[in-house]
């Protein structure tokens, strides 16, 4: 079912974003990356 796959993908992205955002907040500001999930979720 494409809907089930889409729902799983959205859930995986949401979980990854929730785990990735606090990790990015704890990093040093001078260590900047090209992009992150936080930049996509909060432009």
Kindly report, residue by residue over 1-35, the tens digit of the pLDDT. 789 999 988 888 887 766 666 655 555 454 455 55
Number of domains in the chain: 1
Burial of 17 (0-12, 13-18, 19+ CB in 10 A): middle
Query: In this predicted structure, what is the pLDDT of residue 4?
Result: 93
User: At 12, is the secondary structure helix, strand, or coil?
Assistant: helix
Matching residue, tokens 């859930």: 11
Enumerate long-range contacts of 8-13, CB under 8 Å, 24 or more apart: 13/37
Enumerate long-range contacts of 3-9, CB under 8 Å, 24 or more apart: none
Residue 21 sits in which domain range? 1-41
pTM of the predicted structure, to 2 decimals: 0.43
């Amino acid at each position: 079912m494409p809907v089930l796959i889409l729902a799983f993908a959205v859930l995986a992205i949401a979980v990854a974003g929730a785990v990735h955002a606090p990790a990015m907040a704890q990093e040093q500001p001078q260590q900047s990356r090209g992009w992150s999930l936080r930049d996509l979720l909060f432009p």
